[in-house]
Amino acid sequence: MRLIQLSDIHLTASYTKLVRGSNPLKNFKLALQEVISYCPDILLITGDICHDESKGGYLQCQKALEVIPNSVELAVIAGNHDNPTLMKQIFDRRIIVGPSELNYDNARVLILCSHFSNHDEGRLGVEQLDWLKERVFDRRYRGKPLLIALHHQPLKVGDKFWDSIGLIDSSQLIEILKPIDELKAVIFGHMHQHWRGELPGRKDVQLLASPSTLCSFPAIQPCPLGKPDTSGARLIEIDKQGNFNQKLLRWE
């Protein structure tokens, strides 16, 4: 399984409006060309798709995604700059809107919605956490590598600002995930930067933040590629033997 994660696109209803000094649609289209070059099985967008939470912004996203080959599965989850109801109404059947489960021959991906209406912080909520618990403990998938994705970072990252707008029910999420032997990584966005950590109590499980396609925020950790200010994404691969590999992607 090969997955490309894009995040924090921040489209608007306007083709020309700048967000934080950049044209989000132009940057998104450049990112999609990078995606195509890696021939992924899945393109996952981990939130903040539409900065103004408009119908026009989501329609622009759907139109731009038409360049992605039909062989690539498309999935999206809502961030704090999103409207989950509009996403479900506007995106066509090809685009999977989380929460959802993506199942492949050699891996599973559970995508979670951490959108918390009218808040920058994220929240999964009791109902979604119960759904997650049911899915991760499903014995039919024992031994099958598992990847979890959401928008908000699921623990404190060592920065006062980001720690104030993280996932409110992170401790509940971590307690559910800790005993899951199949878990390989938790991926997220929100922070507009590369960040890498590990699940508390599980040094074998990586926590990975993807850069934004729009713009970068001041880095907490050094960029491994020495390009902290450029647009980026993350490549995730799980091979037939269940081995997990990831790679930070950057482009000008």
pLDDT reported for residue 208: 98
How many Cβ atoms are within 10 Å of 199's Cβ, its own excluded?
21
Whole-angstrom Cα distance, residue 151 to residue 164? Answer: 15
Domains of the chain, by residue range, sit at 2-251
Do 211 and 235 contact (CB within 8 A), yes or no? no
pTM summary value: 0.97
Helix, strand, coil percent values for the chain (each to nearest 5): 25, 30, 45
Do 108 and 145 contact (CB within 8 A), yes or no? yes
Do 150 and 111 contact (CB within 8 A), yes or no? yes
Which CATH number is 2-251's, of 1.10.260.40, 3.60.21.10, 3.20.20.70, 3.40.605.10? 3.60.21.10
- How many H-runs (helices) and E-runs (strands) does the chain carry? 6, 12
Place of tokens 């490549």: 235
pLDDT tens string 5-19: 999 999 999 989 999
Whole-angstrom Cα distance, residue 36 to residue 43? Answer: 10
User: Which H or E run includes 109?
Assistant: strand 107-111
pLDDT tens string 155-186: 999 999 999 999 999 999 999 999 999 999 99
pLDDT reported for residue 252: 82
Whole-angstrom Cα distance, residue 231 to residue 242? Answer: 29
